[in-house]
Amino acid sequence: MSTTRVPRALHPIAWWIWAIGLATAVSRTTNPLLLVLVLATLGFVIANRRTDAPWARAFKYYLWMALIVIVIRVVFRSIFATGVGATDHILFTLPVLHTPHWYSGVHIGGPVSLEAVLASMTDGLRLGTMLCCIGAANALANPKRALRVLPGALYELGVAVVVAITVAPQLIESGQRVRKARRLRAGSGRGARALRGIVIPVLEDALERSLRLAAAMDSRGYGRTGTATRGRRRVTAALLLTGLAGLCFGVYGLLAADAPRYLGLPAILVGGMFCVLGLVLGGRRVQRSSYRPDPWRGPEWIVAGGGVVTAVLLFATTGTGVEALNPSFSPLRWPPLPVLPVLAILLAATAGVVAPPVPQPVATRSTRTSPRPEATREGVPA
Amino acid sequence: MIEFDRVTITYADAPAPVLRDVNLRIDEGELCLVVGRTGSGKSTLLGAINGLVPHFTGGTLAGAVRVNGRSTAEHPPRELADLVGVVGQDPLATFVTDTVEEELAYGMEQLAVPPAAMRKRVEETLDLLGLADLRHRALHELSGGQQQRVAIGSVLTAHPRVLVLDEPTSALDPTAAEEVLAAMTRLVHDLGITVVLAEHRLERVVQYADRVVHLAGDGTVTDGPPAPMFASTSVAPPVVELGRLAGWQPLPLSVRDARRRAGPLREIITGRSIPDVRAEVPIAAAPLLRARGLVVHYGPVLAVRDVDLDLHAGQVTALMGRNGSGKSSLLWAVQGSGPRQAGTVDVGGADPNKLSSAAARALVGLVPQTPSDLLYLNSVAAELAQADRESGPAAGTARDLLDRLAPGIPDDAHPRDLSEGQRLSLVLALQLRAAPRVVLLDEPTRGLDYPGKRALRRIVDGLAAAGCAVVVSTHDVEFVASAADRVVVLADGDVVADGPTAEVIVASPAFAPQVAKILAPLPYLTVAQVDAALGSAGAA
């Protein structure tokens, strides 16, 4: 590795592969030591490699969400007791609610054991950690840049999302403007009438804006047709539809117990292949290039590879017993620390060092001290 | 470069075509100015160049429009994107991405320009338009002039041969407009790009035009070099009107040309008594509205700092100052609906801020910058009836008021379909229905053409004659010269000048109207004044 490293953003797809790999690995284990290790890894990488963009600050909300998941899990487990073993350590006893005889499958209340609480805690921790993995991907990869690497056939979808993100604040601004203007006309009515007075001008404004945006996009070359002919467009549509149908059948085949065996995997494979073909063909419909595309170089391979290796290792449970990955808490004991999964997770943690440093915000930020956002058409301040 | 061959454009449900049998040739490298009244089809003509009309707007186009040999009949706008760049009135509404650099690249991405070339062109364009410092900034935090320059840059990166600008400066203050027009003329002179431009405030652009296309309003189009064309156009800047009045041949188009020609005229009218622009109004000792120590701030930013303002009955006050100088905040604070952190407003013993909005409205009426914010019903009649209900019993109805302001607006018209001037009149009628003695107009001249501004001046005069105190915030010096008795200039929330119109605007070279610049040191402001002075000469 060279001595000076040029700051740049890592390819968003690499971050997503890395995060999904970790999430997959997490789904295989309830070992709290491994789960905490994964959380530590996420924290380390984010602390090292996130920008100060608004989406990058969202990770803490995912952490809160994880905590809520754990709490809900424990509370439910305590209320809907599922029986206590002879050797269990009872923490406390809730009053028992007697259910009618036709509803006898569910016990509400009763003694709550330490073992049960621990088990539900680790279960919640697993789900929470998976959430945090996705949150990490969101924090590390710029969502707009991630949308740009969508295959050409899905390009329109990406643009729609980007436009929607841009339009939302404008809608709020025009809502505030109209609400303020209503007072000038002594907006007397309340309820439906007053709402009408706000909603209609705002919607008309939004509609006008979107028409103007559409005209502007059209005259700047959006949606130029590439080399595709009408025949090829039809082939694309047919491929995609068949592919999706195949995927549906395949999923059904895999999940439904009474479905014939041959329906599952083969249908998924064939359906997936059709979809990929369709996307490739459809991509030719649109001809575009992208400005300053994120390159895929060494660091991307290592980061994405780290995620994949971790996932594969934990999925195949190579070198470790199922027992080590999913330790039981009855009888009560300290969970084991399997060596190979720990190494795999540490490998994923190298992303925090291997990924190139993030670009620092530009010095011209100081010019931002302009008096109130001028975009809110002069005057009418919020 | 651009060729209109017997073009007739008719919109669906329209009784007559907007453009009829237009033949037009615009050559490579020309700056072509499109002039005409509001609604005469300027935007239609501009839209036809890249095929937005009729591909996007609907309607039928007979004949052929060709750009560089490519016909818009076979090529929709997106297929012409590499040839024609279009910039509209409101840049913010046309931005697709959210930072300057990405916006500049967007058009090229659509055209599949190779990444290396894109990178180079973005850098060149940043330099060409002086945007290099702003490259990473978010688009919505730029000022209006900067946004419009980014909009121009974002079409330039596709290396179009033609640039179509539809009123690029109408939403900008004079300084920002200068900034955009300077960028535009540089493009014409340095890159030889063909520019087709529509603009309301002609006084800013006539001197740059190589050719003028005039839309008469009945669908006919004539074109030619600027000087002969302006002898008979339906709209003309003051410099041209003065030239017409004085019979100068060829017509001068810039203040410089006119000033060199104006020697004899100055001699004739020197020593004559200068007619008043406006009839002298006796100012009552007690003001209608007395504001003291107004302070408005948004968070840490002071918008209005400690402003005192007296408004007198029968007086028209113009409120001037650059965008963001606090004009709107001041008006809203005076009306009582806007925020106000300190100070008092006294209208006949009451403070509108402490009254209900209905009572405040009967004391001070305000027409906001976007009048359509107040309209939400689907016909003019419904809006008027609603105003009658809201305002309670009083002499006359909103309909009478509207007919006095702008006669002939049909009851069943949808408020959105009205022209800019008609919509302003409608909202003004709704506000006047509450019979306020103080009327505030926030940037009413935006989007009005010369006849529209004349109509507005008549309305404002009528209000003043009826004993109202009127405040008009505007950037338009020519309008102020002819319509205002008094000018208040705001800068950074402070009042920096307050006095009679002639004193305040003639004193500053930037603010002075064209006639004042041409006839200096004689303190004339408007063509009508010169006309009156010459008329009195004829009589003598």
The answer to whether residue B24 scores a pLDDT higher than 90 is yes
Residue numbers in B near A374 (CB within 8 A): 141-144, 323-324
What is the overall mean pLDDT for chain B?
A: 87
pLDDT of residue A226: 60
* A185 to chain B, closest Cα gap in Å: 7
Put simply, the answer to whether B86 touches A216 (Cβ < 8 Å) is yes
> What's phi and psi for B164, nearest 5 deg?
-110, 120
For range A306-326, the mean pLDDT: 78
Cβ contact B109–A291 (<8 Å): yes
| Structure confidence at residue B117 (pLDDT) | 92
Q: Is the pLDDT of residue A379 over 50?
A: no
Higher pLDDT, B45 or B272: B45
pLDDT class of A188 with cuts at 50, 70, 90: low
Q: Is A216 on the interface with B (CB under 8 A)?
A: yes
* Residue type present at position B369: Q
Q: How far apart are CA A253 and CA A68, in angstroms?
A: 35
Min distance A360 CA to chain B CA atoms (Å): 12
Give the count of alpha carbons within 13 A of A362, CB side only.
11
**What local confidence, expressed as pLDDT, does residue A237 receive?**
80
Whether A369 contacts chain B with CB within 8 A: no
Alpha-carbon span A82 to A330, nearest angstrom: 14
Apex B10 CA angle, B4 and B14, nearest 5: 155
CB of A162 within 8 Å of a chain B CB? The answer is: yes
Cβ–Cβ gap B88/A364 under 8 Å: no
Cβ within 8 Å, pair B108-A289: yes
- Sign of the Cα pseudo-torsion (B205, B209, B212, B213, in order): negative
> Cα(B372)–Cα(B426) distance, rounded to whole angstroms?
10
For every residue of A93-110, DSSP letters joined together read: EEEEEPPPGGGTT--EEE
Distance from the Cα of B398 to chain A's closest Cα (Å) equals 13
| ipTM for the whole complex | 0.83
Q: How many helices (H) and strands (E) does chain B have?
A: 21, 19
Does the pLDDT at position A189 exceed 70? no
Q: For B284-331, write each residue's pLDDT tens digit.
A: 778 899 999 999 988 888 899 999 999 999 999 999 988 888 899 999
* pLDDT class of A180 with cuts at 50, 70, 90: confident
> How far apart, in whole angstroms, are the C-alpha atoms of residue A168 and residue A175?
11
Which residues touch B438 (CB under 8 Å, ≥6 apart)?
Answer: B288, B289, B311, B334, B347, B363, B364, B365, B468, B469, B470, B471
Asked if the model's pLDDT at residue A3 lies above 60, the reply is: no
Task: Flag whether pLDDT at A378 surpasses 60.
Answer: no
Q: Which amino acid is residue B97, in one-letter code?
A: T
pLDDT at residue A105 greater than cutoff 70: no
* The pLDDT value given to residue A368: 38
Residue A366 in contact with partner chain B when CB distance is under 8 A: no
Interval A259-280 mean pLDDT: 78
Res. A256 pLDDT band, cuts 50 70 90: low
| Residue A192 forms contact with B (CB below 8 Å) | no
**Would you call A37 helix, strand, or coil by DSSP?**
helix
pLDDT score for B208: 87
Which residues in B lie closer than 8 A to residue A370 (C-beta atoms)? 141, 143
Q: Which residue would you say has higher pLDDT here, A249 or B259?
A: B259
Q: According to the model, what pLDDT value does residue B433 have?
A: 87
The two tokens of residue A23 are 């999430």
**Helix or strand run (H / E) with residue A121:** helix A114-140
Paired tokens of A300 = 């991307």
A158 touches chain B (CB under 8 A): no
In a mutational test of the A interface, the residue from B141, B162, B373 whose CB has the highest number of chain A CBs within 10 Å is B373
Give the pLDDT confidence score for residue A377 in this predicted structure.
Answer: 40
**Is A381 an interface residue toward B (CB < 8 Å)?**
yes
Q: How many CA atoms lie within 13 A of B446 on its CB side?
A: 25
Measured between CA atoms, how close is A213 to chain B, in angstroms?
5
Give the C-alpha separation, B491 to B325, whole Å.
5
Question: Are the CB atoms for B522 and B270 separated by under 8 Å?
Answer: yes
Our CA-based measurement puts residue B359 at a distance from the nearest CA of chain A, in whole angstroms, of 8
Dihedral sign from CA coordinates of A306, A311, A312, A317: positive
Give the pLDDT score at B390.
78
Are the beta carbons of B107 and A291 separated by less than 8 Å? no
Q: What is the mean pLDDT of residues B391-400?
A: 74
Candidates B276, B281, B275; CA nearest to B464 is B281
Q: Is A372 on the interface with B (CB under 8 A)?
A: yes
- Give the C-alpha separation, B152 to B86, whole Å: 8
Dist CA B2 CA B20 (whole Å)? 17
- Tell me whether residues B373 and A186 touch, CB distance under 8 A: no
Q: Give pLDDT, residue A367.
A: 39
pLDDT of residue B45: 93
- If you ran DSSP here, which 8-state letter would residue B346 be given? E
Instruction: Give the model confidence (pLDDT) of A368-377 as tens digits.
Output: 333 343 333 4
- The predicted structure's pLDDT at residue B163: 94
Residue B147 has a CB neighbour count (10 Å cut-off) of 27
Is A216's CB within 8 Å of B366's CB? Answer: no
Q: Tell me the residues of chain A between 251 and 310 that have a Cβ less than 8 Å away from chain B.
A: 287-293
For residues A117, A121, A123, A128, the Cα torsion angle rounded to the nearest 10 degrees is 160
Average pLDDT value for residue range A231-256: 79
Angle at B310 (CA atoms; ends B304, B314), nearest 5 degrees: 130
Residue B217 has pLDDT above 70, yes or no: yes
Angle (CA) B386-B387-B391 rounded to 5° is 120
Residue with tokens 């087709």: B196
Strand ordering across the sheet containing B19-26: B19-26, B2-10, B60-67, B70-71
pLDDT score of A82: 67
pLDDT value for A361: 61
Can you tell me the distance from the alpha carbon of B529 to that of B242, in angstroms, rounded to the nearest whole number? 10
User: Which band of pLDDT confidence, cut at 50, 70 and 90, is reported for residue A261?
Assistant: low
- pLDDT (0 to 100) of residue A372: 40
Give backbone dihedrals phi and psi of A55, rounded to 5 degrees, phi first.
-70, -25
Do the chains contact at B375 and A182, CB–CB below 8 Å? no
More confident residue, B121 or B417: B121
Residues in chain A within 8 Å Cβ distance of B115: 289-293
pLDDT tens digits for B160-199?
A: 999 999 888 877 777 788 888 888 888 888 888 999 999 8
- Option in B102, B171, B374 nearest A185 (CB): B374
Residue B401 CA to residue B397 CA, distance in Å, equals 7
CB contact under 8 A, B301 and A216: no
What are the chain A neighbours of B171 within 8 Å (beta carbons)?
Answer: 377
Give the pLDDT confidence of A78-92 residue by residue, as tens digits.
Answer: 888 766 777 778 888
Q: Tell me what the mean pLDDT of segment B362-370 comes to.
A: 90
CA distance A52 to chain B (A): 14
Q: Please check whether residue A86 touches B, CB under 8 A.
A: no
Residue range B198-225: average pLDDT? 88
A-interface mutation test, from B87, B110, B439, most A Cβ less than 10 A away? B110
Q: Does A229 touch chain B (CB under 8 A)?
A: no
Residue A239 has pLDDT above 50, yes or no: yes
First to last CA, chain A: 51
Give residue B366's pLDDT: 93
- Give the residue among B375, B383, B377, B414 at the shortest CA–CA distance from B399: B383
Q: Do B118 and A289 touch (CB under 8 A)?
A: yes
Is any Cβ of chain B less than 8 angstroms from the Cβ of A183? yes
β-bridge mates for residue B86, sequence order: B164
Q: Are A338 and A35 in contact (CB under 8 A)?
A: no
Q: Rounding to the nearest 10 degrees, give the CA dihedral for residues B253, B255, B258, B262.
A: 160
* Contact between chains at B141 and A220 (C-beta distance less than 8 A): no
Produce one character per residue of B452-466: b if its CB has 16 or more CB atoms within 10 Å, e if not. Answer: bbebbbebbbebbee
Nearest-by-CA chain A residue for B304: A379
Comparing B49-53, B76-80, B168-172, B390-394, which segment has the lowest mean pLDDT? B390-394
Q: Do B96 and A218 touch (CB under 8 A)?
A: no
B199 to chain A, closest Cα gap in Å = 19
Contacts of A266 (CB under 8 A, 6+ apart): A250
H or E element that contains A69: helix A59-79
